[in-house]
Structure 1
Amino acid sequence: MVNRRDWLRISATAGAALTLDPRVLSALQGQDIVTRAIPSTGERIPVVGLGGANTFSAAARSGDIDRLTEVLRTMVDNGATVLDTAPGYGASEEVSGQIAQDLGMADRIFWATKLNVAGRGGGGRGGRGRGAPATADPTAARAQVERSFERLRTPVIDLIQVHNLGDPPVQLGILQEYKAEGRVRYIGITTTSGGRYPDLAEVMREYPLDFIGIDYAIDNRAAADMIFPLAQELGIAVMVYLPFGRNRLWSRVEGRDVPEWAADFGATTWAQFFLKFA
């Protein structure tokens, strides 16, 4: 039987997601999913969701979203409602919004997207020896947020994070305005670069964040030293990215069996093993 974490491993790449058979997806039904509370409100959300960086943009390029529709339907029907996307992920926002509307389940999804018109690490306190950082144009930033509402086809977005630490003073300020208006429920900031963790920590201390997004995997544990303790201290939720290490972990365990002792903590596949750690 294919379990939920196996399915997430399979759907981590666009090609595999588009070849999923409905009979495989049906094996996910009837399983409980673990939830955790968002510290700033106590609202509980599933600990496992779906990222749209590869799957949804690839579906748009191929013109075939039938398999991806079945993936999203099965995910939501089984309680894994968090869908993370970004304007920088090609047509990911547009495709996921279209599928959710066609399925009539847009209001059941925890929509998470991002904002950045300053580039990677641009603006504010970014840089650390990389020269003058780029800044975000407020008009362009607001226009990008408005496009996200249009593409996701929802009047309220659950979470928008500033992508790649792009100009926090300007872009977090804009997101705070949207949150005050009730159009965005949670705000945060992301980085998947270990060299930027000191910058991230500074932003975490200075701004009232609900979330951060950061890279973390069994072979990439640097965030546990500085960022996780700070998030716990400040009451900030953590959204983990790249738990399979951009798929590099699969090459490291290729041809190897999962150790028997892993069953003691509920892992009988490598996907479960990696995600149990994360």
Structure 2
Amino acid sequence: MGKPAVMNDTLPSRILGSTGLEVSTLGLGTVKFGRNSGVKYPNQFDLPDDEQIRQLLAQASDHGMNLLDTAPAYGSSEERLGSLLNNRKHWVICSKTGEEFTSGESYFDFSAQHTRASVERSLRRLQTDYLDIVLVHSDGNDLNVINESDCLETLARLKETGHIRSYGFSGKTVAGGLRALELSDIVMVTLNTSYQEEIPVIEHARALNKGVLIKKAFASGHAVLKGQPSQTVQQNLRAVLEQPGVSSAICGTINPQHLEENIAAAIQIG
């Protein structure tokens, strides 16, 4: 008798548009590493300690996950990652600019001066000399942000100088996503079983060979509260990862069991 088949426990990866970056089909969102106020998750939570984060990062890395999503608006997330990450070259780090979070409140600044200062601060906080991806963190007025500010142009200059490897837009509207595709490398859009309005952006990105990252694959955790959690995870990730043009879904968690379930589902989807 032959040996029993061994199930692969490594996440598949995909190329992110024309950036040349290879990303795991599941990325780790790190809001909960640094911020637990003013968030839209269904349950309250305490911030993890350093050892919990180290173990979570090791767990993710062991399964081939290489994409981390952070932002200045995620409280202390960038600083904590900077001090806790091992093997910088393993990770594709995505941060953002535009939204700030201080004293429990968010505010937005899309000026060239702020954009440059924000990226430079992220480099210091993350203790790295380059960022793989920087996205504009939109306030929802996508077309106004793109057309009336020079945030994307500033990111283009920072790409030319090597501070960032690619840039794009995390928006909230179809019109904004389509416009951002004309001017940048990547879009981050919302997609889950109950929200599919931005599929035209994904389809256009695919036609242009631009990168697509997905946020809110589980509707900020609300989708998993319905039905059987493992089945719901599988259904939502399948709806996302089987959409042509999608490279990776960003899913945030600080629960090792949830991370394991998300990874298992993504591996099964392929």
Q: Taking structure 1 as the reference length, what is the TM-score of the superposition?
A: 0.70
1:111-150, aligned counterparts within 5 Å?
111-116=93-98, 136-150=110-124
SS in 2 for 1:213: strand
2:261 aligned with 1:276: no
Aligned equivalents of 1:201, 1:211: Cα separation in 2 = 11
Residue by residue over 1:218-260, the C-alpha shift from the partner in whole angstroms, topping out at 9 and shown as x without a partner, is 1111112x2111111221111000100111212321xx4x8xx
Aligned equivalents of 2:135, 2:68: Cα separation in 1 = 13
1:253-268, aligned counterparts within 5 Å?
253=227, 256=228
Residue by residue over 1:152-199, the C-alpha shift from the partner in whole angstroms, topping out at 9 and shown as x without a partner, is 1110110001111473341111110110011210110011x3xx2212
- Aligned equivalent of 1:32: 10
Contact 1:160 1:187 in 2 (8 A): yes
- Give the RMSD, CA atoms, in angstroms: 2.5
Aligned equivalents of 1:118, 1:88: Cα separation in 2 = 5
- Aligned equivalent of 2:164: 184
Higher percent of residues as strand: 2
Q: How much identity, in percent, do the aligned residues show? A: 23
SS in 2 for 1:88: helix
- Structure with the bigger RCO (C-alpha within 8 Å, sep 6+) is 2
Aligned with 2:221 (options 224, 227, 247):
247
- Aligned equivalent of 1:163: 137
Q: Taking structure 2 as the reference length, what is the TM-score of the superposition?
A: 0.72
- Residue 90 of structure 1 and its aligned partner are, at CA, apart by 0.7
1:40 to 1:71, Cα distance in 2 relative to 1, 3 A? same
Contact 2:130 2:165 in 1 (8 A): yes
Aligned equivalents of 2:109, 2:33: Cα separation in 1 = 30
- Residue 42 of structure 1 and its aligned partner are, at CA, apart by 4.1
2:44 aligned with 1:64: no
Aligned equivalents of 1:36, 1:107: Cα separation in 2 = 17
> For structure 1, which runs of at least 5 residues remain unmatched after alignment?
1-28, 120-133, 259-267
Aligned with 1:94 (options 62, 70, 79):
79
Aligned equivalents of 2:115, 2:51: Cα separation in 1 = 32
Aligned equivalents of 1:57, 1:42: Cα separation in 2 = 31
1:41 to 1:138, Cα distance in 2 relative to 1, 3 A? closer
Aligned equivalents of 2:49, 2:56: Cα separation in 1 = 13
Aligned equivalents of 1:52, 1:117: Cα separation in 2 = 15
The total of aligned residue pairs comes to 214
Aligned equivalents of 2:239, 2:25: Cα separation in 1 = 12
1:30 to 1:135, Cα distance in 2 relative to 1, 3 A? closer
Q: Which amino acid aligns with 1:116?
A: G
Aligned equivalents of 2:145, 2:197: Cα separation in 1 = 23
Contact 1:118 1:167 in 2 (8 A): no
Contact 1:57 1:95 in 2 (8 A): no
Higher percent of residues as helix: 1
Contact 2:17 2:186 in 1 (8 A): no
Contact 1:157 1:185 in 2 (8 A): yes
1:155-234, aligned counterparts within 5 Å?
155-164=129-138, 165=142, 167-168=145-146, 169-191=149-171, 193=172, 196-205=173-182, 207=183, 209-224=184-199, 226-234=200-208
Of 239-248 and 268-277, more deviation after overlay is shown by 268-277
